[in-house]
Amino acid sequence: MTYLLQISSIVNLHDVTNIWHIPLLLRDQKAHEAILKVLDLQLVGKVPREPKLAEWTERASKFDKLKTPVKIAMVGKYTGLSDSYLSVLKALLHASVAMERKLVLEWVPSCDLENSAAKETPEAHQKAWKLLKGADGVLVPGGFGDRGVEGKILAATYAREKNVPYLGICLGMQVAVIEFARSVMKLGGANSTEFDPATASPCVIFMPEGSKTQMGATMRLGSRRTHFLANNCKSAKLYGNATSIDERHRHRYEVNPEMVPLLEKAGLSFVGKDESGRRMEIIELPNHVFFIGAQFHPEFKSRPGKPSPLFLGLIAAASGQLDLLLKRSCSVISSKPTPPRYSTNGTGTAVLTIKPYPNGHAKKALTSLVNGCYANGNG
């Protein structure tokens, strides 16, 4: 069979400084017109509308110009395979762009932080700790299985004790709870039953409605509602003083509701819960510069022009801009929500000029944002 390919249907995508330039290359070569033609979606007698890419263009070109770095240590298991954490990586990039910082990501294999690595692989151990200690912020992403968990717990201890900004996602929140129980409440053997089914202090447990024998379709998945219980907490402010938010989930274990009163008494705040009030969604340490854990995955809803509020908070805290961000975020929300908008104040510092969208998801792309830039230029 012979296909006739129209010359107008051939586009050339050469290497660009960052991936956000690609839609612009497509537009320049009128790829949108070719696609509409092939799909027979052209309006008769009308010229195809030009794609609205002004904000996108601004972001793509500013992306290339960012200089001030923000260094984030990503403490995980598959640090050799960045694609395993692609959504997290992109969410960090979106937030860095919004906060006008060049993202420098340090991959820290959690196993290498563990005490056993000091003997077995001393060089890797030293390197991992050097990377962690050199970072402006720490992120512990989601994960399954016990390999490297003790290293993640050590990273949480480090961030808590040294007042280094910390964002824990799903497993990253669970390890922060385990760490708090062990170090602050002195419950030495505290653990998740995922890693130690016989632990005497099960601060993270298997969810009652789950099934251990049937792995398919038994996870708590998808979009669920979180209700904020304290509106003076950082996360509620970051979400524009929202009373509730919808974020996406993917987990089998949860913070043990029976242990919550004890954890709270010892100083850990559970600021977001599900509608039943028994399922913990967000933790915070009130006296820490930024120590937040979320049972959900905020990275899944992050977009280039509307960064996830929790990622924005991490990057803001890691770059000394959190106070400013929170001050603006907690101003009165109008009945008609508007997206957060930033401009520069001439010193390269981001200034939030418009109140955030209450559910944390801006309806349109942020304007006046200078770029964040991940080292490989991809994003």
Ligand X SMILES: NC(=O)CC[C@H](N)C(=O)O
Contacting positions for ligand X (CB under 6 A):
142-144, 170-171, 194, 250-253
Q: Which amino acid is at 317?
A: A
* Smallest separation (angstroms) from ligand X to the CB of 172: 7
CA distance 76 to 152: 7
- Residue 361 among the catalytic residues: no
Backbone angles phi, psi at 153, to 5 degrees: -65, -40
Beta-ladder partners of 222 = 249
Residues 6 or more apart whose Cβ sits within 8 Å of residue 70:
96, 99, 101, 102, 103, 104, 136, 137, 315, 318, 319, 372
Residue 285 in tokens: 């340490």
Check 21, 100, 170, 330 and give the catalytic one: 170
Residue with the CB atom nearest ligand X in the bound state? 142
* Smallest separation (angstroms) from ligand X to the CB of 321: 28
Query: Looking at beta carbons only, is 97 or 173 nearer to ligand X?
Result: 173
- Residue 203 among the catalytic residues: no
DSSP string covering 149-183 = HHHHHHHHHHHHHHT--EEEETHHHHHHHHHHHHH
Check 94, 125, 297, 361 and give the catalytic one: 297
Query: Looking at beta carbons only, is 27 or 252 nearer to ligand X?
Result: 252
* Smallest separation (angstroms) from ligand X to the CB of 271: 19
* Smallest separation (angstroms) from ligand X to the CB of 265: 24
Give the Cα-Cα-Cα angle 268, 272, 277 (nearest 5 degrees): 100
CA distance 305 to 370: 11
Comparing C-alpha atoms, which of 348, 218, 351, 233 is closest to residue 290?
Answer: 233
Query: Looking at beta carbons only, is 21 or 251 nearer to ligand X?
Result: 251
- Residue 258 among the catalytic residues: no
CA distance 255 to 282: 10
Backbone angles phi, psi at 161, to 5 degrees: -70, -35
CA distance 225 to 229: 13
Is the separation of the CB atoms in 20 and 63 below 8 Å? yes
* Smallest separation (angstroms) from ligand X to the CB of 43: 45
- The residue ranges of DSSP E strands in 187-312, in sequence order, are 191-192, 202-206, 220-228, 244-251, 253-255, 269-273, 280-284, 291-294
Query: Looking at beta carbons only, is 57 or 82 nearer to ligand X?
Result: 82
Check 106, 299, 361, 373 and give the catalytic one: 299
Query: Looking at beta carbons only, is 20 or 85 nearer to ligand X?
Result: 85
* Smallest separation (angstroms) from ligand X to the CB of 102: 28
Query: Looking at beta carbons only, is 107 or 206 nearer to ligand X?
Result: 206
Residues with catalytic roles: 170, 297, 299
